[in-house]
Structures are given as C-alpha cells and as structure tokens.
Structure 1
Amino acid sequence: MDVPQGSLSLRHYGASHGSHAHEHFQVLLGLDGVLDLEVQGRGRRIAAGQGCVIAPGDHHDFESREGSRCIVLDTPHAAWARCAYDPARTAQALALGHYLAHALQQRGSLAQHYGPALLLEAWQPLPQAVPPARHQRPIHWEQLATWTQQRLHEPLSVAQLAAQVFLSPTQFAARCRRETGLSVMHWLRRQRLALALQLRGRGMGVAATALHCGYRSPSALTAALRRQSGESIQ
C-alpha cells in the first residue's frame, strides 16, 4: 500500500525558541492546550482539534504559555499544498490525533507508517454532497396527444399543454425536447397532421378536416399532407 511518507511525532510546546523554516511541509494538530503560532508574520491560535499546514520555506514561531501538545507531521508530500489550516473532519482528526499520540509510544506500532496517510485523509476537503435526484412526474404522451387532438380546432399554447402535465412552460418545453426529440410546436404539428390523416382516411372532406384540425385553410392542409407524402416517399 502506497502511503504519504513523513515523520510523525508528539511534541510539547512551551516558550518560543525563535523563528525558523523547513524545506518540507509541517502539519500540526492540536491535542490539548492552546498554541500561539506565527507564520510569515500572521498569527494563529491552535486549540484541540484545530490544525495548521506550514508550507516549505515559510518562517514560523511557536509559543504556549500554559503548555500545549500537538501531533506534528514533517512531510514532503505535495498533496498538503491543497489542504487548508484546519482538518476537514475535526472530530475525527482529534480522535485520530489522540490515538496516534498513544500509538507512537508503543513499540512495533504501525502509526509511523499509516499515520501520515490517515492525517491527510482527515484534512482533505469533504466531497460535495450530490443533491438527491428530484422525482419527476411522468408525462403520458399518448394521453396528452388524445387531449390535444380533441382541441386542435382551438388555438393551443405551450402554457395550456404544460398545465395538463402540471409543469411550467419552460419545464414542459425541456421535457418535450428530451423525451420526444421534438420542440413543442413540432410535436403539436405532429398531432395536427396525425388527426388530419385519420379524418381524411374516414372520408371527411378537406375543408372540414382543415377546420377540425386547426389548419388556417384547406390549402394549408393540402400542403401539409403533400409534405408528409413526400417525406414518406424519401
């Protein structure tokens, strides 16, 4: 198993020893007490469960008036460059820190080997929660087509069609495009033409069929039927 390499230690902090810097990342996790920290001239206070990631080359100084214990990781692992000061999982990190503090004192413990990877995991940003998929009421297209064909002699709008399936016009237009591959107006023309073909097949005259299906004129119906015939031949 590949794990981030580094050196773990349990350190006790008290009076300041002066500013210094390292060529590697230094990660601190507070266990108890309060540690006052200054990194590149900026102050920070580390209490239990809080932490700090000090980048290579950053000058820093520590001081704790009442005494502080911290788990310290010295590591060259580049992944720490993407980690914020405090661990993302504070409670888990503190529990892990106390465990490591105990394990580091035990002979044969694997804390030194696996501890750096576990600390990095506790520090990594939490994954973004995926919003639950919204349940969408199904559109019964055949039922909607029947309702539509019964009213083609009337002007029909996208809003009227959308209201039949309890959607906004925008939502209905998007669902129509996604589920039928057609725009709403194209779908409506399909219903108009389908009804016209049925009525003509039953022997209804062109003028009556045009009126019943909402065509502007008998010639508009004739043109639509001619286009349909041409598309069928191709």
Structure 2
Amino acid sequence: MHSPHLSLRHYGPSPGSHSHDHYQLLWGWQGRLELEIEGRGACVSSGRLAVIAPGDRHDFWSSAGSRCFVVDGPEDHAGLAPLAGRVVDTAPSTLHLLRFLAAQGAEGGLPQPAAAALLLATVTAHGSAAPTATRRAIDWAALDLWLDARLGEPLSVAQMALQVCLSPSQFAARCVEETGWAPMAYLRQRRLQQARRLRAQGWQVQQIAERCGYRSPSALTAALRRADAAR
C-alpha cells in the first residue's frame, strides 16, 4: 500500500506526459498550472483541486511558475473515485489547513504521513461533503481583449482554448453553446468587427488587412462584402 506523501512543489515547463500507480492530488497555492488529464484540458489556480487517478496520463506546465500542494497516494481510495480526472473547488476546511501548512512549512510540523492524511480526510470526509465540481465560466470579455490584440496573427482553436483553461474540444463545444459560433467563425467575427471599427476611423485598407489578419486588401474587401450581404 502506497503511504500518502505531502509536498509543496514548484511547476514550470512541461516534463512530458506521464502517469502514476497512485492517486495524485494537486491544490493550487500560487500562480496558475495548466493541466491535461487523459486528453482533457484543465487549469489549477489558487483555491482549486485537481484529482488524478492511478494510470491516467497527464501533463502540466506553467509559463510564469506555479506552486501547488501535492499529495501522492494512495493507490486505491473509494472516496476519491468520484473526483478522478476533475478540477473542483477546494473545501473551506481544506483551505484553512493549507494556510496552516504554508505558514509552518509544507508539513506544518506534523509527521509526514499525518499531514497528508489530514488533507485527504478533508476531501473525502462525510462523502457528500466533498467539494462539488463546477463548470468553469468562460470570461468572453477577457478572451475578446486577448484576441483583438492578436488579430493579425494566425490564431488556432488550441490557442484560444488555452486562454480559458479548456481543451480544444471542450472550448469548441462551449463556444457553439454560448455564442452560436464555432471557434474559427467566432474569430472571423472578431476580425470583421475590428475591421469595421478601423474603417470608420479612417484607416487605409492595407493597414486594416494587416492589423486584422487578412492576407490582402482584396481579401478584406471580399470578407466585408460577404458579411454585409448575409445581414
């Protein structure tokens, strides 16, 4: 039986996809950690918990650096199974314990197995009291600002998905559900809206085409004509 082990780790560049023979729990403490668990994108920030099941392939990276409390183990735990592969809100009791551990050092002055066991207990205690998964809201205004600053670049669905901590497939589904547009169609609308704004401000067609990601002034003119005809 794998004895649970607690550590406070710093994450940076990706180490490559890998798996473990035990559960791994990551509580975000500082910064933002991007995760991919069995092909599904996720994000762990302060106050969030990721539960990775034994055998699940996963990868992680943080462009600006991230610190997480990590419990490795056990190999099998019925109370963790419902949370496997998910990122959920951290329970208030767990946040209090994490603050205590951070103030005292990663193990809080407790024997190592006891500190790890206490964290596990706050997640699994009372069954239904375990934190409930919530669907991460997409901040469309923030995404629009990010897109508008890069419309002249060849953007991809994967790049947009990364900004909202979702996998490309998850983002594509949510984009259609919440905006009515597929991701690349949504991007085209942002380009057209920006092009119209710049045209109203008196920009030259060549400048607008370069700023908004069109390969030529004629391509921009044709796109505007098609959009106007479809109204």
TM-score range, shorter chain: 0.3 to 0.5
TM-score norm. by structure 2 comes to 0.47
TM-score norm. by structure 1 comes to 0.47
